[in-house]
Structure 1
């Protein structure tokens, strides 16, 4: 999305996360939608999904993410809806997987199976395709997800996907086992150093596997409910792997802020440093509040029943059927800081200053009074995003441009 286009939208590009299904075939305990969780499961009705997509287009939504559960369990419906969204004029289409289709690479049909997946996905206008990877250690990741051989399968699948013009993102949900079987532990500086080591191991592993892009998903734990967040997106968990104290989050985000720049020269890492800096301030003592999230103003979440919410964490603020959402719903005032969900918090920090630029003198004054370090990181993020072709997952990396950002 170009800066002039964003400014024409008064700095508030619209994004929707649509839960296509809450079915899942993974066993990861740190997600409340894992295959062992009880309750009725299902997919969004096809007609409902198309109406939601049409409403997104009418509202001017530019980015639409199809999530789950495991979106690919919806089968051909996922590909049909991606094409429908493209025809409707939505430019930035995303989806992802827990990687189950890459398990058991020894099967004789593995290459053909991945080839068909690549052909089907490449035939849609999808722009970004993420693959969950929980750990630098293959055995740790596979034991967590319940999909043996998946990491070896990934190494074999990535060249096939690349040959079809698809450059997936390694999606890391920050957790205590991201470096391997030994859980992340310690206090203060020791915790920071351990987190830095594990993050570096992960990025090195993602690069070695053949990924050209990566992203950090911030911890999604039930403890956030104590801060006023009530999840409707059931990917939260009380599992120890994703539950961190505020003191641990402070050191964890410090580690992210220091490690990501060291790997940006080899791997296109979306995680914006300005957003990480804001989270560090939020967990510091005394806390320093960053920008409120644009959830419910520019960004929305739609569950598999077609009901809209300001965010996947704000179940107590239902907006009714999203297909009936009025234009006035996008005119609210940002205020929420109840969770760290990166799908909304990262773009809020990235696009917030553009909103200030578009708002006239009052916005310019807010920007001038902002944290100088935050502003500098934001400008650096914009330069890096340009070097990454705005993280276009249909284009290979420009190694020469990336190398200028090596740590």
Structure 2
């Protein structure tokens, strides 16, 4: 498990990095807004990450890219028969694991997931209406499985967080907040609607779904609803991140850049490394990664929440790392400019706002 001292040692190098790992392209759900859905026909060759090679892949990213957090995704990651083993590998290497699941397979795995080092678990919920959620997922009865799992997770020391796609399945954000509380969730995180095709191997989009075909004004109202939910349940998307998305929608332009390719990466089931899920060219096999492949180009091409929100909160450690680099090169003025940038202090406010979340992700309770 990553320690406080380990994190402090990483500060001169821009802080820790995050790795999203899609361990399979197989899914047992039928979500209308996702092309991993097993009934859509996009996945014709079901693949599962080779767990025997995962320790070496993670070791490379731990040593070469300072990865200290890993999120297991899919498809549905609990379909991977060795996912618990992979989580323990991360834990034992000092990389804090988390996992995103639709919840169907959770009831028989809860104790094992807690033992494998997870301190936060993201469970998908699509609507304040249980029937709409189950119809979209094609998993009748999954809401009761989620309800039972969320309550047991808290007792096991694992924070259950609702992962909600911002789609037309949500009719009332306040009602959604109350529903999530009733299910036993401690917090919610929103992913923003994705219609355009992604450039990587990831299929978490749908060009055909009307659920994500939302116009500017509709999206602005959705962001207002999500923001208002903070009065009901903690929302893990930083306020500054949601404000940036509003600026994007209104044409004002975002303040914060994305650090994917430097402090955030996507690894697929073939051990192919990408700077993010939206990028069209890979960084090559993960086993060949070296710091010379870092990418820092101030990207603002997409609105993918996990990369953009995390990048915002990493802005301060990245700025401090840049200041250290400038001082080593004898450029004190550049060092001052790095830490004096207003975005660095906006990043600090976001980190303070999300203090409980960060402690939970880091395994500190």
Fold shared by both chains (TM-score > 0.5): yes
- 2: distance between equivalents of 1:43 and 1:388? 30
Instruction: Name the structure 1 match of 2:99.
Output: 95
1:273 to 235, 239, 251: 239
Map residues 291-370 of structure 1 onto 2, 5 A cutoff. Answer: 291-314=256-279, 316-330=280-294, 332-360=295-323, 361-362=333-334, 364-365=336-337, 368=340, 370=342
Map residues 48-127 of structure 1 onto 2, 5 A cutoff. Answer: 48-59=53-64, 60-75=66-81, 77-90=82-95, 92-101=96-105, 114=107, 116-127=108-119
Deviation at 1:137, TM superposition (A): 0.7
Instruction: Name the structure 2 match of 1:178.
Output: 170
Which deviates the most, 167-176 or 349-358?
349-358
Instruction: Name the structure 2 match of 1:42.
Output: 47
Matched, 1:243 2:213: yes
Matched, 1:206 2:172: no
- 1: distance between equivalents of 2:301 and 2:358? 32
Deviation at 1:369, TM superposition (A): 5.5
Instruction: Report if the CA contact (8 A) 2:23-2:77 is conserved.
Output: yes
SS at the partner of 2:319? helix
- 2: distance between equivalents of 1:367 and 1:281? 24
**Distance of aligned partners of 1:153 and 1:57 in 2 relative to their CA distance in 1, 3 Å threshold:** same
SS at the partner of 2:180? helix
- 1: distance between equivalents of 2:74 and 2:281? 21
1:163 to 148, 155, 173: 155
Instruction: Name the structure 2 match of 1:183.
Output: none
Instruction: Report if the CA contact (8 A) 1:167-1:393 is conserved.
Output: no
Map residues 8-19 of structure 1 onto 2, 5 A cutoff. Answer: 8-19=11-22
Q: CA deviation digits over 1:11-39, x for unaligned, max 9?
A: 34211111100100001110010011322
Question: Number of residues paired by the alignment?
Answer: 349
**Distance of aligned partners of 1:269 and 1:140 in 2 relative to their CA distance in 1, 3 Å threshold:** same
SS at the partner of 1:350? helix
Deviation at 1:87, TM superposition (A): 1.8
1:253 to 217, 220, 223: 223
Deviation at 1:279, TM superposition (A): 1.3
SS at the partner of 1:101? coil
Instruction: Report if the CA contact (8 A) 2:11-2:320 is conserved.
Output: no
Deviation at 1:395, TM superposition (A): 7.2
Instruction: Name the structure 1 match of 2:124.
Output: 132
Structure 2: 5+ residue stretches without partners: 324-332
Deviation at 1:148, TM superposition (A): 1.1
- 1: distance between equivalents of 2:87 and 2:341? 42
Deviation at 1:166, TM superposition (A): 2.0
SS at the partner of 2:188? strand
Instruction: Name the structure 1 match of 2:330.
Output: none
Instruction: Report if the CA contact (8 A) 2:103-2:145 is conserved.
Output: no
Matched, 1:144 2:136: yes
- 1: distance between equivalents of 2:362 and 2:126? 20
**Distance of aligned partners of 1:252 and 1:159 in 2 relative to their CA distance in 1, 3 Å threshold:** closer
Instruction: Name the structure 2 match of 1:31.
Output: 34
Deviation at 1:167, TM superposition (A): 2.2
Instruction: Report if the CA contact (8 A) 1:308-1:320 is conserved.
Output: yes
- 2: distance between equivalents of 1:391 and 1:275? 20
Q: CA RMSD in A?
A: 2.5
1:221 to 187, 190, 195: 195
TM-score normalised over the length of structure 1: 0.79
Instruction: Name the structure 2 match of 1:282.
Output: 248
Deviation at 1:237, TM superposition (A): 0.7
